[in-house]
Amino acid sequence: MRIIPAIDIIEGKCVRLSKGDYNTKIIYNENPLEVAKMFEAHGIKYLHLVDLDGAKSSKIINHKILEEIASKTTLKIDFGGGLKSDADLKIAFESGANQITGGSIAVKNREVFEKWIAHYGPEKIILGADANNEKVAVSGWLEDSNEDLIPFIKYYQSKGIQYVICTDIAKDGMLGGPSFDLYKKIINQCSVTSSAVEKLSEANGLKLIASGGISTFDELPKLAEMGCEGTIIGKAIYEHKISMKQLENFILNH
């Protein structure tokens, strides 16, 4: 299972929110590159970079930070937040994103999102399936859609999507543990080979990336055992609930 630390950006600074609420913003570092370099120094290979300004304004904003981290570290970055147009996507990839995550666009403009999957390929496009009571949330989580989570994921699987980041918004930034039951349900219902966890990594299988609520190191082996392909960790790192040494050891031993 891949360990993917998160850096969320508002006004160029590394922040965290609780339940996606912009009023709960805590600034952890003024320099996101410094944070990314610290991750890299501890053996981290992946980074989840979220442009929260972009998510709010529906267009890419913080691509300069993406470019800086991509050019000054070896981290493979998945980038999301406000990507709504072909031009946004072009900027993200040209700025060094390894993958992009589309959430709101996948709900509000299926035609465009499906075109991206076809054009860039499923290894480059991640479906951001963020949920509130198993309904997909959009616009930086500022609104709920009427889309049911599991049929939504299944629909995009039929269009070629493999990578899915699922955040249970009620858990995000709360350090109360991840949504094990929700992830189990998704893996069971959306995996092509739902009975065989070891086959999840096959080309047509679901690569589920758990996100939101991670609070202790012990939760990571559980998510791995369940069949999650990756897990995104944010506040637990910044609040020192999980140490970089623990993550380093996990990566070495898995």
CATH number of the domain bearing residue 246: 3.20.20.70
Q: Please report the pLDDT score of residue 144 as a whole number.
A: 62
Q: Give the Cα separation of 75 and 34 in Å (integer).
A: 13
Q: Give the Cα separation of 44 and 244 in Å (integer).
A: 9
* Mean pLDDT computed over 65-80: 98
pLDDT in tens, 35-55: 999 999 999 999 999 999 998
**Residue 138 forms beta bridges with which residues?**
143
Question: Which one-letter amino acid corresponds to residue 109?
Answer: N
pLDDT in tens, 166-206: 988 877 667 789 999 999 999 999 976 444 444 444 445 89
What backbone phi and psi angles, to 5 degrees, belong to 37? Answer: -65, -35
* Mean pLDDT computed over 219-239: 95
- Three-class secondary structure of residue 35 per DSSP: helix
For the chain, what is the domain count? Answer: 1
- 8 is a catalytic site residue: yes
Domain range for 29 is 2-253
Which runs of consecutive H residues, i.e. helices, occur in the chain?
Answer: 32-41, 52-57, 63-72, 86-94, 104-108, 110-120, 149-157, 180-190, 219-226, 235-238, 244-253
List 53, 78, 88, 130, catalytic entry: 130
Q: Give the Cα separation of 24 and 52 in Å (integer).
A: 13
What backbone phi and psi angles, to 5 degrees, belong to 99? Answer: -140, 160
97 has pLDDT over 60: yes
Question: What pTM, to 2 d.p., does this model score?
Answer: 0.91
- 78 is a catalytic site residue: no
- Three-class secondary structure of residue 126 per DSSP: strand
Q: What are the tokens at 168? A: 């249970």
Q: What are the tokens at 213? A: 């609520």
Burial class (CB in 10 A: 0-12, 13-18, 19+), 139: middle
List 8, 78, 88, 168, catalytic entry: 8
| pLDDT over 90, % of the chain | 75
pLDDT in tens, 18-34: 877 889 999 999 999 99
